[in-house]
């Protein structure tokens, strides 16, 4: 049996993620109290259900302290367990609550949405460290669908490397394990002939490829990260996210992400590429 456990901040996209998994053939349960997780598995195991997805979050906050123990017990069984933790920047979450006019699960009539989000982060901090974190701040529903499908199909017998580009002007990706700042490199943006292109286009590639410092940055990042991949893998990590940031997330970070991915793929690890601002 395969069990996918979804948790995360209210407003970060858990309902959307659960619908994506339901469309992919999973039996889905929303807002399951943690003490019932083992019972749910036993019921569906005997009925022949092979794929289950469960959402657990602060709507059951009084029982969340039981979840890490339940996860530890499941991990010892023959069940293939994958955990997704959905997050987003605070200002994005506040905007989403404002647009939908929904009440935050931790609201008591006296706290602001911002207060609730801060409290919620504290409650979920232990669970956050157990799962694969996805930052939905700048994701469309289609983006999230593709990421979750990649996650579901990932080979959990090895470490999966995610390399993503982003723009600092839009904020740091909260799902990063490593963040590298490449804003010190020459910027194609100031060449008006190629400004509107991206790091996937040949003129930008040619512009950056001929720069020694750009090539040195790529290899310095690769040498640092690659030296530790085996250790992360031995630590039973399923995913490692490397974020490359420039100012707008369209030129330097995109090119370096693509080139770094080519090098890391040669180590044998599965490598996924994302460009947050494209």
How far apart, in whole angstroms, are the C-alpha atoms of residue 246 and residue 168?
Answer: 6
Residue 224 has pLDDT above 80, yes or no: yes
pLDDT in tens, 114-163: 998 998 898 888 888 777 888 998 888 888 888 888 777 766 567 889 99
pLDDT digits (tens, 9 = 90+) for 12-32: 989 889 988 888 888 899 988
Q: In which region does residue 11 sit, left (phi positive, over 0), alpha (psi from -120 to 50) or beta (all else)?
A: left
Say how many residues make up the chain: 278
Q: Is the dihedral of CA 194, 200, 202, 208 positive or negative?
A: positive
């Amino acid at each position: 049996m395969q069990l996918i456990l979804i948790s995360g901040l209210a407003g970060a996209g858990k309902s959307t993620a659960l619908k994506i998994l339901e469309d992919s053939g999973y039996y889905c349960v929303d807002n399951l109290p943690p003490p019932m997780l083992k019972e749910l598995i036993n019921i569906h195991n005997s009925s022949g259900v092979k794929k289950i997805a469960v959402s657990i979050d602060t709507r059951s906050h009084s029982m969340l302290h039981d979840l890490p123990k339940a996860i530890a017990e499941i991990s010892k069984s023959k069940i293939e367990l994958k955990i997704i933790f959905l997050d987003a920047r605070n200002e994005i979450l506040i905007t989403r609550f404002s647009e939908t006019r929904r009440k935050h699960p931790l609201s008591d009539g006296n706290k602001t949405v911002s207060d609730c989000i801060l409290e919620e982060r504290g409650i979920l901090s232990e669970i956050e460290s157990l799962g694969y974190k996805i930052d939905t701040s700048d994701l469309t529903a289609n983006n999230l669908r593709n990421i979750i499908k990649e996650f579901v199909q990932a080979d959990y017998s090895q470490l999966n490397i995610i390399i993503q580009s982003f723009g600092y002007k839009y904020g740091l990706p909260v799902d990063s394990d490593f963040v590298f700042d490449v804003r010190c490199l020459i910027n194609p943006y100031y060449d008006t002939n190629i400004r509107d292109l991206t790091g996937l286009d040949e003129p930008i590639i040619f512009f950056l490829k001929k720069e020694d410092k750009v090539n040195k940055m790529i290899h310095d990042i690769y040498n640092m990260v690659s030296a530790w991949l085996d250790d992360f893998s031995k630590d039973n990590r399923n995913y490692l996210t490397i974020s490359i940031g420039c100012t707008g997330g369209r030129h330097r970070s995109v090119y370096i992400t693509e080139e770094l991915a080519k090098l890391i793929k040669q180590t044998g690890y599965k490598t996924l590429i994302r460009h947050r601002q494209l």
